Structure 1
Amino acid sequence: MNEPAAGHRLSPHTADLRIEAWASTREQCLAEAVAALVDSFVDRPQPLPSTAVETTVPVDSDENMLVGVLEEVIYQSEVAGLVPIATEVAATRGGLRMRFQMADLAAATPCGAVPKAVSLHRLRFRADSHGWRCAVTIDV
């Protein structure tokens, strides 16, 4: 059975969560990783967005950009009480521009523990013959 061109999946990992995402471009793959992270703790249907948050993630390595994006989602959830419902990612000269359409976390139906951190253990983010793939462990 073939995987769709873009998507994600969650798998339990000892006291943690493993996220895998894939898409034809690096930017789409990052957006899928954000969607996977949100799906791990917010049930569908998700609340409607009420605000937008923009941030930039500097270029370092692809893996560090993935970590930076997911850490921003965790930060927004913990500190601002917001959760991204839709994510736009655009490459810039210095890295990535992220635009999150955010909803109030209190308006969401929880379905799991809110993530606490991104683990660097077994972190992968790279292009292959089908596009881009990433895999990351999330501490919950």
Structure 2
Amino acid sequence: MDRGYREVPHTADVAIEAWGRDLPELFVHAAQGMLSLAVTVEPGATVTASREVSLEAPDWEALLVDWLNELLALQDEHGETYVAFDVSLSAPGQLRAHLQATQAYRLDVAIKAATFHNLAIRHDERGYRTVVVFDV
């Protein structure tokens, strides 16, 4: 099954390539990819909380970085990780998301932040694709 992301080699930090048929799917896959690097969800984990996120940014790349960094901040603040995402995007730079969280996880890699390093969201006939580099 196509997960919509994969880890890619990076010299100093960690990085993922994410893709989706549309921008909301790309944003979900980028979040899933980032969290797959950072945490392991315990088998049988249950949803313990729901969160709502609203963000605005000047463009899609800035919004993607803000989205991923917001997830890291919420994870740190609430001691939980996110296992399900419902993302909607409107007008360039606006995001609304509903998250489902669990506290049954183990931290594997402490990701400090998503970065703008060589970040570009590309579109072709298959959909959208990007590579995101994370500071660790």
3-state SS of paired residue (1:79): helix
Deviations 1:14-46 (A, max 9, x none): 231111111101000100000001100222556
What is aligned with 1:100? 99
1:62 partner amino acid:
W
Structure 1 alignment gaps of length 5 or more: none
Deviation (angstroms), 1:60:
1.6
1:134 aligns with 2:133: no
Identity %: 28
Would you say how many aligned residue pairs link Structure 1 and Structure 2? 134
1:134 partner amino acid:
T
Structure 2 alignment gaps of length 5 or more: none
TM-score (norm 1): 0.85
CA-based RMSD: 1.9
Deviation (angstroms), 1:91:
2.1
What is aligned with 2:78? 80
TM-score (norm 2): 0.88
Distance, in Å, in 2 between the alignment partners of 1:24 and 1:45 is 29
Say if 2:23 and 2:89, in contact at 8 Å, map to a contact too: no
